[in-house]
Amino acid sequence: MGLKDEAVPTSELPSHFMSHIERLKVDPNHRVVIHNHATHVIAMTFIHSLDENQFTKTLWEMCTECIVVFPDGIGVIPWMVPGSSEIGRETAKKMKAHHAVLWPHHGIFGTGSSIDEAFGLIETIEKAAQIYMLIAHHENQQRITDQELADLAKAFNVTPKEGILNV
Ligand SMILES: [Zn+2]
């Protein structure tokens, strides 16, 4: 829409198509892939480790709903030139095990069985990242512990990604 002269769309078609293929393999109800440039998620990729387990754990700790909304954590790929088949392949690889994949300094992909679910996932991650950006440079007096996160997951009947919580 609204493209002029030699402009090309930035719709990330390879990443969308390849992500659909991988999500459908693990979830027959999968329908939607959304990509956007969530501000605080992008901001967080400058100041937080890009290790996906560490990134996931920090997001889980930011608000109580997180581990319930994305117990499978978020995948993180290295920075890459967007729009390519290569970034599509790397994104899709992460989609085998995650509903959401982060592109450092660029944005995020969220998936789900409906637009509401995929957008809700991105919104939850963005809110957690916003809280992180608000508190990152302050002394924290308390936090949600690993045991509390584990209790939360159990109460809501979700299985947190292995290797993140120390309980
Ligand atoms: Zn983009």
Angstrom distance (rounded) from CA 13 to CA 7: 15
Angstrom distance (rounded) from CA 108 to CA 50: 13
User: Which tens digits make up the pLDDT trace of 111-144?
Assistant: 999 999 999 999 999 999 999 999 999 999 999 9
| Domains within the chain, CATH numbers bracketed | 13-138 (3.40.225.10)
How remote is the C-alpha of 34 from its chain's centroid? 11
- For the question of whether the overall pTM of this predicted structure is more than 0.85, the answer is yes
Q: How far does residue 107's CA lie from ligand 1's centre (Å)?
A: 6
Per the annotation, the verdict on 12 as an active-site residue is yes
- Give CA separation, 142 vs 67, 81, 135, 151, in Å: 18, 39, 12, 17
pLDDT of residue 11: 73
Q: How far does residue 143's CA lie from ligand 1's centre (Å)?
A: 33
